[in-house]
Amino acid sequence: MIDQNCANIIGLALDALGAVYGVAVRDLVSRSHPESYYCAAWLLRRAANEPLRVVAQRFGVSASRISHIQRALERGAPSPQHRKAMTRCKVKQ
């Protein structure tokens, strides 16, 4: 179970990300917009420091898949939206 402070950070991060991509927060975890889905998984690992297992459960995939998403985003050049999300959430890559 996550504490209230962590829940607030997660909520703020997902709200900011939804605004960046122009999608509802619920759609960030639905895979209907792949780039925002990958960025949301990455953001929860980096900004909210959620454990792999927790992020995997939230997104309905394995911890290995979250690890692959995180690695791919950190190795590649960030898209303009990803860069904007990093700035809004004060995450350094």
Instruction: Name the residue with tokens 């209230």.
Output: 4
The mean pLDDT of the chain is 84
Domain count, the chain: 1
Q: How far is residue 62's CA from residue 79's CA, in Å, rounded to a whole number?
A: 25
Asked whether residue 86 is assigned to any structural domain, the reply reads no
Asked whether residue 10 is assigned to any structural domain, the reply reads yes
pLDDT at 25: 87
Q: Give the angle subtended at the CA of 3 by the CAs of 83 and 16, to the nearest 5°.
A: 25
Question: What is the sign, positive or negative, of the torsion defined by CA atoms of 50, 37, 47, 13?
Answer: negative
How many C-beta atoms surround the C-beta of residue 89 within 10 A? 18
CATH of the domain at 51: 1.10.1750
Reported pTM: 0.81
Q: What H or E segment, with its residue span, contains residue 71? A: helix 63-75
Asked whether residue 12 is assigned to any structural domain, the reply reads yes
The proportion of the chain whose per-residue pLDDT surpasses 70, expressed as a percent, equals 90
Is 66's pLDDT higher than 90?
Answer: yes
Per residue in 2-43, pLDDT tens? 556 666 777 888 888 889 899 998 888 888 888 889 989 988
Asked whether residue 17 is assigned to any structural domain, the reply reads yes
Pick the residue with more confidence: 11 or 66? 66
Which residue segment(s) compose the domain that 68 sits in? 4-80
Asked whether residue 60 is assigned to any structural domain, the reply reads yes
- For residue 88, give the 3-state DSSP assignment: helix
Asked whether residue 14 is assigned to any structural domain, the reply reads yes
